[in-house]
Amino acid sequence: MMGAFGLQTHIWNNNLKSALLLAGFPVLLVLLLYGLHVGYVGLVEAPATAQEGLALAWSRLGETWPFALVGAAVWFAIAWAFHQKIIEASVGARGLSRREAPELYDMLENLCIARGMTMPKLNVIETNALNAFASGIGERTYAVTLTRGLIERLEPAEIEAVMAHELTHIRNRDVRLLVIAVIFVGIFSFFGEIVFRNMFRAGLRTSGRASGHKGDSRGGGLLILLAVAIVVIAYLLALVIRFALSQKREYLADAGAVDLTKNPDAMISALKKISRRSDVDAPDDVRQMMLDNSRRFAGLLATHPPVEKRIRALQAYAGGQR
């Protein structure tokens, strides 16, 4: 059976998805900007017809879309420079020194040597939950983060399997794709919430005044609905991008950990211990980067396959506990 580690097709797909996400970010930003223009025209100016309002909003978009591109460029620069600090701050992670945990450092270093990889930074989250994740978009920013509960409750061989799992994510470019999705889609989720709140408040303030405005107020009302629809579409597109990330990446990382450690029992045992004990206090966007995430969006789209399926896949691939 072909090994799961370093599959070129998977890596190429991840690189392509990363490029599409980066290219799609300014497009979604312009779409949201147009939605704001439509909403502003509908709420404040109350044009006679929806067609008139859309045309006015489109003309104003022609004047302001360069600012959206500049904003995207500025955000790219901020995300590139500070994405790791943003992620670490969101979960309360801190660097773990070699003096604090020499065994863990030796373990991670040996795994990296075995694969010819540059050793990532080692972080810890002070929580009793059992989980781990890798982050970063390049060798200078890659990091492997473990929770205190995982360090204290897993056996050394199981911790080694978890580290190998996260290193596989780094090698297969899953981490770069996830960081891009989390950073850029996360900002859209936040921005979408702000837009909805402001539009709702503005609607309350102008509802009485708009009714007395000359002209057909139905045009303004329709524009408001169209603006909401545009913002909803952009927000849902962002969510689709986030939750459309293939669950296959976890199967491949599990198998890659076995390829690296030659110990399927350790990976299976680690998954069993982590299951139902992995709930870290972290944003939903960051949870999808973790070894285990049992939460689902609206009860439907899960970012991770069930642990039971992952164990069965490992048993079929490498044997081990049955």
Give 275's contacts (C-beta < 8 A, 6+ positions apart). Answer: 292, 307
Radius of gyration (Cα) for the chain, nearest Å? 24
* Residue ranges of E strands in 3-106: 93-95
DSSP code string of 38-55? HHHIIIII--SSHHHHHH
3-state DSSP percent of the chain in helix, strand and coil, to 5: 70, 5, 25
Axis-axis angle for helices 50-91, 217-243 (nearest 10) = 30
> Is the separation of the CB atoms in 139 and 171 below 8 Å?
no
Q: What is the dihedral of CA 18, 22, 23, 26, to 10 degrees?
A: 160
Question: Which residue is listed with tokens 């081990």?
Answer: 320
Catalytic, 193? Answer no
Cβ atoms of 314 and 320 within 8 Å: the answer is yes
Beta strands 296-297 and 143-147 are unpaired
- Nearest 10 degrees: CA dihedral of 15, 17, 19, 22? -140
- Residue 113: alpha-carbon gap to chain centroid: 29
Q: Which residue has the tokens 């007395």?
A: 212
Among residues 88, 166, 193, 250, which one is catalytic? 166
Q: Please check whether residue 127 is in contact with residue 148, taking contact to mean a CB–CB distance below 8 angstroms.
A: yes
Catalytic center residues: 166
